[in-house]
Amino acid sequence: MTVDISNFIIATPLPISDTNPISLDLIGWRALIECPSVISMLPDGSLQMTAPTLGASSKSVHRTRCEWKEPGYWLFASAADHWCRQEMRLTKVNSLQKVVIGQIHVQGSERPPVKVFWNKGKITMGFRSSYLQDDPVNSTVLENVPLGALFKINIHANSTGAVSVSASCNGIKSTSAIMRLDNTWDTKTLAFHGGVYNQIDYSDTTDPEDASICVISDLSITHS
């Protein structure tokens, strides 16, 4: 099955230009044509996304990403159920061995309600029950997810603010507890993101070979 990101926004680890070091975002079909060094369609229809640790980033952070992003935002109350289903494998991970692979992003903030990580061979998550909460509550969703192994992650939220994350790998499946968002999220606009977002800051001494690479073999986003 071909992973269709033609209408998604792709956040790349490449600069806007030689004179503007801020990371380049562009629509999926253009990214596939213009940025083959970091995003490409493999012969089987899978999508490969590459984020060198040393690269371009947004103004607010010194961390690189190669992420797909929904092209529009939504409210929790806009649909009964919101689902992000992603099947993928990590073929390379940065030297810290930690990368964001999915999230519910909140517009205009770096404090999302849900982030899902591959973290040293485990799928973990961070959860903020309140928009006003500085630090997330972290938990493990699934252990024993080796580098190179195919795995699935599902992020689910409903209109009443119930959130859960499930993951499966090598025939083993696990689901987080059902967590509750408070009413501070009711008016916040949100979007699913996925791919690879390095959780290590780059510096002048960063190894140019350090990077995270994922291959996404199935991707489904629904709001219904």
Please write the tens of the pLDDT for every residue from 52-65: 999 999 877 899 99
Q: What is the mean pLDDT of the chain?
A: 97
pLDDT in tens, 166-211: 999 999 999 999 999 999 999 999 999 999 999 999 999 999 999 9
Could you give the CA distance from residue 134 to residue 58 in angstroms, rounded to a whole number?
20
Residue 50 CB-density burial (10 A; 0-12 exposed, 13-18 middle, 19+ buried): buried
Could you give the CA distance from residue 180 to residue 127 in angstroms, rounded to a whole number?
10
Q: How many CB atoms lie within 10 A of CB 16?
A: 14
What value does the mean pLDDT take over residues 133-155? Answer: 98
- How remote is the C-alpha of 55 from its chain's centroid? 17
Residue 197's DSSP bridge partners are 65, 100
DSSP assigned state of 19 = S
Q: Which long-range contacts (CB under 8 A, 24 or more apart) does 23-32 make?
A: 23/55, 23/56, 23/57, 23/58, 23/64, 23/65, 24/56, 25/69, 27/71, 28/68, 31/5, 32/5, 32/6
Specify whether the CB–CB gap between 39 and 33 falls below 8 A. Answer: no
pLDDT in tens, 11-62: 999 999 999 999 999 999 999 999 999 999 999 999 999 999 999 998 778 9
pTM value?
0.97
Specify whether the CB–CB gap between 167 and 149 falls below 8 A. Answer: no
Q: What is the pLDDT of residue 60?
A: 76
- How remote is the C-alpha of 118 from its chain's centroid? 10
